[in-house]
Amino acid sequence: MKSLLLALCTLSLFFVSCQKELSGPGNTVDPPVVPPVVPPTTSNWFIKFKVDGVAKEYKFEDTSAITMNTILGNRLDIQGYANEKEDDYEGLALAVYFDGQTLSPGIYTSENDMIFTVYNPNHPTIVYSAGFLLTAPPTPDTIAITKISNGEVTGTFRSTIYITETDGNGSVLNVGEDFKTITNGEFRVPLIK
């Protein structure tokens, strides 16, 4: 994303600097007005939640995407990161599996639906997760999709997430009994198709 923005800025500077001189003797045509390059704002997109009462808000690369025909079915993925630092792993991912060709707004729970939550507190091999093949939480995990339209997805979530050791490449090595509670979860993210 950063490289795309840099490429667009560089390209616009190239076109502006290579523009022909349109004013001068005998030329009455005004030069065209070139609007400034404004980087896309991320201020409208967010993922907010509390982990054991500590507030978190992610506004870096918050996105969602629908993936059709995976091994387990069609899936909506929502993810965001704490910041743009490559050596900072802190982030959150949510997933909702659904039947049919479209995902409808509604409440999806760990009791009735296949949903996942993965939270990385900034560690290369330890995450906290809930969902498929994990211990049933004391209260059902919930992801509520309130709106899917105009290229965005909004909703709320809550989860009980368990410490999960990975190999650093996504394979689970061990699920422990230590857990954290995610509450007051909200998201408004762009939908990438």
For 122-152, write each residue's pLDDT tens digit. Answer: 998 889 988 865 666 677 899 999 999 878 9
The pLDDT of residue 9 is 27
Cβ-contact 128, 137 below 8 angstroms: no
Is residue 33, in this structure, part of any structural domain at all?
Answer: no
Give the integer Cα–Cα distance in Å for 171 and 184.
29
Give the integer Cα–Cα distance in Å for 130 and 182.
11
The pLDDT of residue 30 is 41
Could you write out the DSSP letters of every residue in 56-122?
EEE-EEEEEEEEEEETTEEEEEEEEES-S-TT---EEEEEEEESSSSPPSEEEETTTS-EEEEEE-S
For 158, the token pair is 């809550």
The pLDDT of residue 124 is 86
Is residue 117, in this structure, part of any structural domain at all?
Answer: yes
Mean pLDDT of 158-162: 93
Give 21-63 pLDDT, tens digit per residue.
Answer: 333 444 344 434 444 433 344 468 999 999 999 999 998 778 8
Is residue 140, in this structure, part of any structural domain at all?
Answer: yes
Identify the domain containing residue 107 by its residue range: 45-192
- The mean pLDDT of the chain is 76
Cβ-contact 41, 57 below 8 angstroms: no
Give 102-124 pLDDT, tens digit per residue.
Answer: 889 999 998 888 899 999 999 98
Is residue 68, in this structure, part of any structural domain at all?
Answer: yes
Mean pLDDT of 73-86: 87
Number of domains comprising the chain: 1
Is residue 123, in this structure, part of any structural domain at all?
Answer: yes
The pLDDT of residue 119 is 93
Mean pLDDT of 170-181: 83
